[in-house]
């Protein structure tokens, strides 16, 4: 048994209460992550998991449901001790819209020895009634933590409503807001790269960096999330949370230490320094029928069954208005039904100030750092080198990659689901990789202003063919500045 690390917040939870326990997230991520943590003996044998949702299921039926989810979503070699894991689970049906069932739920949870962690992954409309129900049943004491899964509102106003409702029962130091990108190993590695190496930080600024690109490209389409996605769109579904968190990690000042307050203080400063985007600095798109990896796929309107003005692609030229980043554009783009699944950050450095080889006919390209987050986890630094030879006809230089493939560098290490890390941190009470209220609100503020701009301009998404890199205007957005998207 590995010892749990001790963090602020004081207790390691020995009860976990999962709302939305029959939902998609529970099946794909939460149950598999918990089972994998169990298999690796990372959670205390005493930890009991109470699952709740509207369906009328017995404990036995829920365990069967969980087993089916694990067999589908967790690789067989990570399912060690699955039967024991299933025995940790119990189930209590609940209609969260009324107070009636909460006392029975509290009874099922019982008295925790140390503390209770609650994971709320339900429709946002159920947040408020659920908080009321928890208060009613006394499940809001000093030894209770609350974890919230997105979407946390659809704009600043609705996000504040949710945050206020949660804050009426739990103080901020016991609220854990998930952005699952922060649970990804390569995203955390970004901090190691920046702050555990000497060579990057001195040149990590406007004097040496020309621009930054952040791409989150997906090949999937609507995936049956018709109702949710059409009300959200790419800006709110991906940029408001995941992409702004990546941007904040790239742009933040070095925190004094790797702890929840220091890291989040620095991130929020970046989010607050985001310059309001001007019209002409965003491009939106919506996919039409096309092909991905040689397979025909329908258009967004076909999948939806009607026309819609929701964007499935967005590209933004953004700026962080502070000393470090003066004049450095951050180009962001994300979309569904793009040619490949790739999440990466590209840091494009400036040219050397003077080429000593110019008189010998050599051309140079500036250095570039590419941080691959998924599916490939790698770090590539492009360097200029001399092409071997006697140089009788001039010196030739060529860009070559210095490439670290993380899986090769750490071949023995288990590749974990982002939620494994986040659930463990929730149980142990470490907020470093969770999003603080001021961050969420700064994110929404910036996003709301973009949406207001779109509305004022009457912006309608341009169409793009599924399997392409979005509307051509997105390419033009970067090329106007002499920048090409990294592909």
Contact indicator for 357, 179 with CB cutoff of 8 Å: no
Task: State the binding string over 175-194 for ligand BG6 (x if CB under 6 A, else -).
Answer: -----x--------------
Q: What are phi and psi of 434, to 5 degrees?
A: -115, 155
For the bound state, the minimum distance from the C-beta of residue 459 to ligand BG6, rounded and expressed in Å, comes to 21
**Contact status: 237 vs ligand BG6 (CB under 6 A):** yes
> Is there a catalytic annotation at residue 242?
yes
Give the residue with the Cβ less far from ligand BG6, 150 or 211: 150
Residue placing its CB nearer to ligand BG6 in the complex, 169 or 338? 338
How many positions of this chain bind ligand BG6 (CB under 6 A)? Answer: 4
Smallest distance, ligand BG6 to C-beta of residue 454, A: 20
C-beta of 129 vs 298, nearer to ligand BG6 = 298
Burial string for 323-349 (b: 16+ CB within 10 Å, else e) reads ebbeebbbbbbbbbbbbeebbbbbbbb
In the complex, what is the shortest distance from the CB of residue 222 to ligand BG6, in angstroms, rounded to a whole number?
A: 9
* Residues with Cβ within 8 Å of residue 349, at least 6 apart in sequence: 203, 208, 209, 210, 366, 367, 368, 369
Residue number, 237 or 281, with CB nearest to ligand BG6: 237
Pick 92 or 378: Cβ nearer ligand BG6: 378
Closer residue to ligand BG6, CB minimum distance, 82 or 232: 232
How many Å separate Cα 455 from the centre of its chain? 27
One-letter-per-residue 3-state SS of the chain: CCCCCCCCCCCCCCEEEEECCCCHHHHHHHHHHHHHHHHCCCCCCCCEEEEEECCCCCHHHHHHHHHHHHHHHCCHHHCCCHHHHHHHEEEEECCCCCCCCHHHHHHHHCCCCCCEEEEECCCHHHHHHHHHHHHHCCCCCCCEEEEECCCCCCCHHHHHHHHHHHHCCCCHHHEEECCHHHHCHHHHHHHHHHHCCCCCHHHCCCCCEEEEEEEEECCCCCCCCHHHHHHHHHHHHHHHHHHHHHHHHHHCCCCCCCCHHHHHHHHHHHHHCECCCCCCCEEEEEEECEEECCEEECCHHHHHCCCCCCCCEEEEEEEECCCCCCCCEEEEEEECCCCCCEEEEEEEECCCCCCCCHHHCCCCCCCEEEEEEECCCEEEEEEEEECCCCCCCCCCEEEEEEEEEHHHHCCCCCCCCHHHHHHHHHHHCCCCCCECHHHHHHHHHHHHHHHHHHHHHCCCCEEEECCCCCCHHHHHHHHCCCCCCCC
Cβ 343 to ligand BG6, closest distance in Å? 6
Residue among 237 and 439 whose Cβ is closer to ligand BG6 = 237
x/- contact string, 206-225, with ligand BG6 (CB under 6 A)? ------------x-------
Binders in 333-392 for ligand BG6, by CB under 6 A: 343
Residue (169 or 235) nearer to ligand BG6, CB: 235
Give the strands of the sheet with 15-19, arranged side by side. 89-93, 48-53, 15-19, 116-120, 144-148, 175-177
Name the minimum Å distance from CB 324 to ligand BG6.
Answer: 28
User: Residue 36 or residue 320: which is nearer to ligand BG6 going by CB?
Assistant: 36
**Which residue minimizes CB distance to ligand BG6?**
237
- Give min distance, CB of 261 to ligand BG6, in A: 26
Catalytic residue among 38, 211, 242, 319: 242
Pairing of β 282-288 and β 342-349: unpaired
In terms of CB distance, is 91 or 229 closer to ligand BG6?
Answer: 229
Of 398, 19, 480, 467, residue with least CA distance to 217: 467
Catalytic residues: 242
Q: Which residues bind ligand BG6 (CB under 6 A)?
A: 180, 218, 237, 343
């Amino acid at each position: 048994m590995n010892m749990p690390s001790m963090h602020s917040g004081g207790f390691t939870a020995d009860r976990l209460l999962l709302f939305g326990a029959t939902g998609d997230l529970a099946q794909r991520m939460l149950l598999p992550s918990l089972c994998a943590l169990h298999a690796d003996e990372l959670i205390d044998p005493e930890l009991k998991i109470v699952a709740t949702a509207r369906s009328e299921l017995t404990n036995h039926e829920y365990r069967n449901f969980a087993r089916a989810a694990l067999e589908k979503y967790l690789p067989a070699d990570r399912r060690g001790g699955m039967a024991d894991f299933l025995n940790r689970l119990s189930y209590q049906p609940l209609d969260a819209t009324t107070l009636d069932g909460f006392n029975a739920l509290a009874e099922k949870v019982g008295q925790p020895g140390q503390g209770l962690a609650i994971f709320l992954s339900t429709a946002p409309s159920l947040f408020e009634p659920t908080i009321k129900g928890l208060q009613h049943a006394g499940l809001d004491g000093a030894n209770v933590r609350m974890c919230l899964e997105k979407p946390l509102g659809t704009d600043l106003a609705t996000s504040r409503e949710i945050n206020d409702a949660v804050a009426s029962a739990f103080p901020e130091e016991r609220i854990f807001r998930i952005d699952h990108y922060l649970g990804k190993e390569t995203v955390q590695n970004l901090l190691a790269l920046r702050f555990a190496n000497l060579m990057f930080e001195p040149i990590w600024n406007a004097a040496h960096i020309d621009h930054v690109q952040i791409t989150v490209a997906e090949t999937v389409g609507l995936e049956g999330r018709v109702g949710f996605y059409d009300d959200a769109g790419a800006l709110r579904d991906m940029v408001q949370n995941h992409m702004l968190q990546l941007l904040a990690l790239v742009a933040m000042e070095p925190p004094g230490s790797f702890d929840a307050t220091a890291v989040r203080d620095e991130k929020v400063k970046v989010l607050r320094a985001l310059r309001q985007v001007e019209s002409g600095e965003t491009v939106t798109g919506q996919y039409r029928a096309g092909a991905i990896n040689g397979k025909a796929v329908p258009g967004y309107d076909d999948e939806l069954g009607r026309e819609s003005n929701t964007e499935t692609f967005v590209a933004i030229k953004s700026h962080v208005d502070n000393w470090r980043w003066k004049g450095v554009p951050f180009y962001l783009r994300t979309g569904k039904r793009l040619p490949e699944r790739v999440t990466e950050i590209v840091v494009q450095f400036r040219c050397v100030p003077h080429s000593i080889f110019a008189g010998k006919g050599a051309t140079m390209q500036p250095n570039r750092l590419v941080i691959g987050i998924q599916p490939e986890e790698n770090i590539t630094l492009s360097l200029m080198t001399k092409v071997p030879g006697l140089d009788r006809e001039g010196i030739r230089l060529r860009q070559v990659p210095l490439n670290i493939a993380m899986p090769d560098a750490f071949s023995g290490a288990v590749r974990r689901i982002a939620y494994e890390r986040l659930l463990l941190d929730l149980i142990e009470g470490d907020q470093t990789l969770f999003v603080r209220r001021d961050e969420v609100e700064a994110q929404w503020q910036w996003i709301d202003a973009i949406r207001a701009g779109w509305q004022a301009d009457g912006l309608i998404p341009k169409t793009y063919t599924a399997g392409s890199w979005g509307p051509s205007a997105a390419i033009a957005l970067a090329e106007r500045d002499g920048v090409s998207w990294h592909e």
